[in-house]
Amino acid sequence: MFKYVKHTNYPININKKDLKMAKYLLTQFGGANGELAAAMRYFSQKFTMPDDKGRALLNDISTEELGHCEMICTMVHELTKNATVKELEEAGLGSYYADHNKGIYPVDASGVPFSVKYFAVTADPISDIMEDMAAEQKARAVYENLIDLTDDEDVLAPLLFLRQREVVHFNRFKELYEYYKSKGY
């Protein structure tokens, strides 16, 4: 069902180490409003959508969100490449290093591990789609905050791309929401 394409949705090529930005970016992998939560939310909700239209949309977007996880993880990896343990400690990543070294692990910027408590599945298409629209808006807001935290063009460009995808997803969910409302769900 899934086909892996061996490149990211947007090219990632970060040349400058920035450990603090890497720490901040982790939130879009393992945080409450991040890409992993979105992928799992939409994947889980798709099974109880009332028709193929809803199932297909949630499946498509959940798959894209996994691609966004890959982008964020690639960015974190490139921002931390060749960092010393001392540099990681100075950037507030000492406890992360103790548990994961330079491995990529789903946590938020404060180090709180990913939790399935970040999303809900109700089997009610209207409730689930409303949650999905809210999730996309929250992710957009986080991307805007991350954009404010850097001036590195190599980091900004993929963040701007990801922010725009949140807007697109919100609009697609809004269309589905309006369609389901018109059908009386």
What was the pLDDT predicted at 163?
A: 98
Three-state secondary-structure class, residue 20:
helix
The two three-digit tokens of residue 91, written as one number: 């950037």
Angstrom distance (rounded) from CA 159 to CA 18: 15
pLDDT of residue 1: 61
In sequence order, the 6+-apart residues with CB closer than 8 A to the CB of 143 are 28, 159, 162, 163, 166
Q: What share of the chain is helix, strand, coil (3-state, %, to 5)?
A: 65, 0, 30
Structure confidence at residue 77 (pLDDT): 98
Report the chain (185 residues): mean pLDDT per 10 consecutive residues.
Answer: 80 97 98 98 98 98 97 98 97 97 97 96 98 98 98 98 98 98 96
- Per CATH, the homologous superfamily of domain 19-182 is Ferritin, core subunit, four-helix bundle (1.20.1260.10)
pLDDT of residue 103: 96
